[in-house]
Chains A and B, each alone.
Chain A
Amino acid sequence: MSTDVAPPRAGRTGAGRGWDWRLALGHVGLVVAALVFVAPLVYAFFSALKPDNEILKMPPTLIGSQIRWSNFADVFAYGPFVTYISNSFFVAVAGTLVVLAVSATAGYAFGRLRWPGRDAVFVLFLGTLMVPQEVLVIPMFVVMQWFGWVNTYESLIFPWAFTAFGTFLMRQFFRGIPFELEEAARVDGAGPVRTFARIILPLAGSALAVLAVFTFMNYWNSYLWPLITISDYTELGTLPIGLSTFSTQNGTRWDLQMAASIISMIPTTVLVIALQKHLVRGISTSGLGGR
């Protein structure tokens, strides 16, 4: 794709600021790669503006015989699409709040407090990171049956809100904060709760942001689990479930499906663009991102 792009050679021509053909070639290569890369999304966007019967047409055109912005409005009138979107938002926001609360507190206990058995319990936490979701979904469904949670919001929110990943991320972050800060607060008589709330948590903004973004995305994009636990799509379906409802036995409404797909991409894309600095820093400081 772009293997011809020159590796970074910072400083080599640092003194002479003349024309650097390698750098120019690098830019050209990257722009070409970027264009190829976004082409599917761009074409999907323009397809979402076409009349349905012109989307699969030979030869392909970027712009159809008319530009139908109304496709985007029609998506919302097609079935319970508004319900899908609001369900996805509700589940993603609720799940993220639970994950942040649980991970920050546990991360603090593991990273900053001393208690017997801490390291053994932490290893147990880390061990569960190796168990993939796909192994858990089958027994999780039975757990949901026991709780009476099959086909409920609870089943969409809670089962994946306690994974060790968030705790691990926060613990790593908290351990990087200088202990002198905390000792000073302790000397002034503040206990762990106040130290946590007043000193540690306010410093954890970027780590919490990284965790929040990845958690929100995981919920927003989740597909396998809602497919398993939700049977009543019109009431409890989430957006990824809803996206596949534009294909029926009577064929596929490609125009609406593309418009709906584009709509579904907006929140997480906006999130990434808005928080790009946090994301890159978060990945480089924590060493890992979402799962």
Chain B
Amino acid sequence: MTLLAPRRGTATEPGGAAPAAPRRRGALARAERHQALGFVTPALAGLTVFTIAPVVLSVVMSLHDWPIFGERTFTGLANYGRLLTEDPDFWPALRNSVVFTVLYVPVNIVIALALALGIGPRIRGRGAFRVLFFIPVVTPVVANVLVWKMLLQPQGLVNGLSTSLFGIEMPRFLSDQNWAMISVVVMSVWAGMGYNMLILSAALEQVPASVTEAARIDGAHGLRMLVSITLPMISPSVFFAAVMTVISSLQVFAQPQLLTGGGPGNATLPLVMFIYQTGFTFQDLGLAAAGAWILFVLIIGVTAVQFRAQKRWVHYEH
């Protein structure tokens, strides 16, 4: 629910939350109730089986020693204890997820915002630019990663250009302890920022001309206009983009899985990859479920902190 807050409220709420509509005849209302039940049942049944039940099951699983095949035994909070105190890969995975998020989110949003601002109303081929920057968002992430894996090989395009043009030997992007994470971040920003660009473009288009016009008459230009008028006006959308991007970056999986395999060592192995390996490589579903819950709590916590902090910088119209 809370995720919806940054959206601009629908202007009119016809017959919505508050049943303000005139009283209607009882028989008609009853028929409507029955048919509503018919309309909503498929979604409700599916959601129960494929979301609510798994959530509950996940809690149960995390309290068991639950192998893919064979006997399960109740172990209480032992899985959580193992993760937090014994497992050698859990804390590094948590750290990697956090490092990825801290690097990825600001870079993503700054570039997306710069592009959204840059592709202004007077730019020719506006639509084409937007589509272009959006393309990697929609192409299979596996394909995107494989392209970058080729580019970042020691004999790939990046090092090849650098060596032949400037005579500078680049580091091993995918196997160097520090560069591997940077490579994952750069690749992910390339693939993902088009989405935020579109969100922010849509927001910029809804800034009323009267406001910018008034500010201009008052002498605001350029950077001043950006900082004092434009950014505050679109801050709900920036906030929305930030929240969603943080959530998705804490769930990063395919990029490190395919680009670096989590390596070197476990330098780029994030939480989701840890959960996947625990569950399906080591076949310890209970431990994996416990790890997933810690991830979920982390996501909820970070999101809650963002919502607490939004009062400082997000401006809503009233």
From 234 to 291 in chain A, residues with beta carbon under 8 angstroms from any chain B beta carbon are 239-240, 243-244, 254, 257-258, 260-262, 264-265, 268-269, 271-273, 276-277, 279-280, 283-284, 287-289, 291
Chain A, residue nearest B241 (CB): A288
Q: Which residues from chain A contact B13 at a C-beta distance below 8 Å?
A: 175
Say whether B84 faces chain A, with CB atoms less than 8 Å apart.
no
Say whether B299 faces chain A, with CB atoms less than 8 Å apart.
yes
Query: Which interface residue of A6, A276, A287 has the most chain B CB atoms within 10 A?
Result: A287
CA distance A119 to B147 in the complex (A): 46
Query: Does A244 lie within 8 Å of B258, measured CB to CB?
Result: yes
Query: Does A228 lie within 8 Å of B280, measured CB to CB?
Result: yes
Q: Which residues from chain A contact B226 at a C-beta distance below 8 Å?
A: 7
Q: Which residues from chain A contact B160 at a C-beta distance below 8 Å?
A: 57-60
Say whether A172 faces chain B, with CB atoms less than 8 Å apart.
yes
B4 to chain A, nearest CB (A): 7
Contact of B121 among A8, A134, A137 (CB under 8 A): A8
B interface residues, how many (CB within 8 angstroms): 124
Stretch at the interface among A63-71, A75-83, A105-113: A105-113
Q: Which residues from chain B contact A191 at a C-beta distance below 8 Å?
A: 31, 35
Q: Which residues from chain A contact B155 at a C-beta distance below 8 Å?
A: 56-58
CA distance A47 to B156 in the complex (A): 11
B245 to chain A, nearest CB (A): 12
CA distance A140 to B58 in the complex (A): 9
Contact of A178 among B14, B123, B129, B251 (CB under 8 A): B14
Query: Does B50 lie within 8 Å of A280, measured CB to CB?
Result: no
Q: Which residues from chain A contact B275 at a C-beta distance below 8 Å?
A: 134, 138
A165 to chain B, nearest CB (A): 11
Say whether A221 faces chain B, with CB atoms less than 8 Å apart.
yes
1/0 per residue, CB under 8 A from A, across B290-318: the answer is 00110110011001000000000000000
CA distance A143 to B49 in the complex (A): 9
Say whether A123 faces chain B, with CB atoms less than 8 Å apart.
yes
* Given A5-B117, A128-B47, A11-B213 contact (CB < 8 Å): yes
Sorted from nearest, which 3 A-B pairs have the closest CB atoms? A8-B120, A162-B46, A5-B118
